[in-house]
A and B are shown apart, each in its own frame.
Chain A
């Protein structure tokens, strides 16, 4: 299996998708640096020390929300566009036909590919996470609790195996292009569901309408849990559940990137189980697939 993981890493390091991701990341971090500096340099509106403390925290929270909003896009771009053609694309080009006749069980091949993409994405997520937090910390106040950061990072990185699993499963059924479209639309639907939740949570709406909307967005989150995991991660990082009602970020520049409904811990357990089930399903489909 190590040979398959190694091959996947070589593929990732040599294909253009990584180069594009790195360029996007560098560009994003430069822009983020200037935004952070601008926000950090703004004068405090309150004079009392406690209010200033809250304001500093709000600045840091706004920066982290903004940073991870775009950071998650970059991470998803890398994961989806590096793995969407892993099975069907290689079968279409004929790469798979010579590899699968080698004496390695198919499940090992599938898991090797999965691990290759997932480990690479998790490592990239670590680089992104540290970069965003460090830049935000230089210009504003961010939480310093290392345990909170470990938990937040693990949640940020959890989106990688979820996306890889969905992408590989899709690749066992759809053509390379079809799976690329499928994954982009699925990710887009998840993001849209999250946005609807964020917007509606800060609006006065008919409870019946809200209930229907939450049902729809909840269903989307069950299929594509990435955005919900992201919200949970930010809530944990910023300690928003502990500060419920104490902090109003509606006037902040990141109001549009707010958190909306914060998923429970059970949802994270669901996301992990959901990923494992899809991984097992993908492995079975790959095992039975004719090439």
Chain B
């Protein structure tokens, strides 16, 4: 049996103000990319800080490759990019990376040999010789990534790794994370950028008010059921109940919204009897059955298309109607 990269059992941190997280249990395998989602104040950063040894848990335990969190042995396995951080302004970028390398037990020469590669990898290049006080927030974020990678750790904890970056920077970070994943790194990603999580992660968990609300494989969460749309001409309202009854599928008239709109389709010149119908459908045979019913009724079927659910919708649906302690509280 292989040891899990990250094994969290009932990990709890309780604060007097009621914040923190409770009874979190997750096991993450080696080489897996895990996305951790949740509204502001859900307790995501608290959990990450416990895992990297910055906060002592109130209860429960967790291990990184079998070593208890907070121990020196466990910290040898990790690279960490905090959410809110700055680096020593009086040092140069190279010196900051070297310092992190030395703290990881690397010899000065070994750290020096890795620094140019790391600077290139995160896109800082020759700016490594500048003092950190001259760095923009985005450059500091890149420097943070270089520091996290200095000891070539098998586990990476990244708390909002591209929050301060421009779109080009975000693409760079996303590409870097994909490379790291291909190299077999275990990635624990805290991010508000759901598209980033969707692109990189294999599994996700949603934290709300300090407890895990949902978790699962990204492809299961997003593609377990697919929403299908049918563009129909010659539609009369009376036909809809018949279609639902005959097919056994809860078809309904589609109202275009910002999240679902296919601009080209919806902006096409509508006619009074042309509508969109939509339904959640488990398999393609059912889609074929509905199209047959539509055509047999003498209606015109202009388009049939699956609509891929986005993580954002999953997230909104999961937390909608729930109270959550936000930053306004």
Contacts and interface: CB of A to CB of B under 8 A. Distances in A.
B54 A101 contact: yes
B82 A98 contact: yes
Given A103-B75, A104-B72, A3 B103 contact: yes
B100 A98 contact: yes
Contact of B55 (A11, A93, A94, A290): A290
A105 B72 contact: yes
B76 A103 contact: yes
B174 interface: no
Interface string A76-120: 000000000000000001110111111111000000000000000
Contacts of A4: 103
Given A3-B99, A3-B102, A103-B103, A288 B144 contact: no
A80 B53 CA distance: 29
A291 B95 CA distance: 24
Contacts of B53: 100-101
Contact of B84 (A3, A7, A15, A94): A94
A7 B72 CA distance: 20
A10 interface: yes
Given A3-B103, A10-B95, A104-B103, A98 B147 contact: yes
B56 A102 contact: no
Contacts of A99: 100, 103
Interface residues of B, number: 30
A101 B55 CA distance: 10
A99 to B, nearest CB: 7
A14 interface: yes
Given A11-B88, A98-B80, A104-B72, A291 B49 contact: yes
B52 interface: yes
Interface in B109-157: 144, 147
Interface in A1-51: 3-4, 6-7, 10-11, 14-15
B176 interface: no
Contacts of B73: 103
A249 B1 CA distance: 83
A97 B54 CA distance: 7
Nearest to B72: A103
Interface of A: 3-4, 6-7, 10-11, 14-15, 93-95, 97-105, 288, 290-291
Interface of B: 49, 52-56, 72-73, 75-76, 78, 80-82, 84-88, 90-91, 95, 99-100, 102-105, 144, 147
Given A3-B99, A99-B103, A103-B76, 4 more contacts: A94-B82, A98-B87, A103-B103, A104-B103
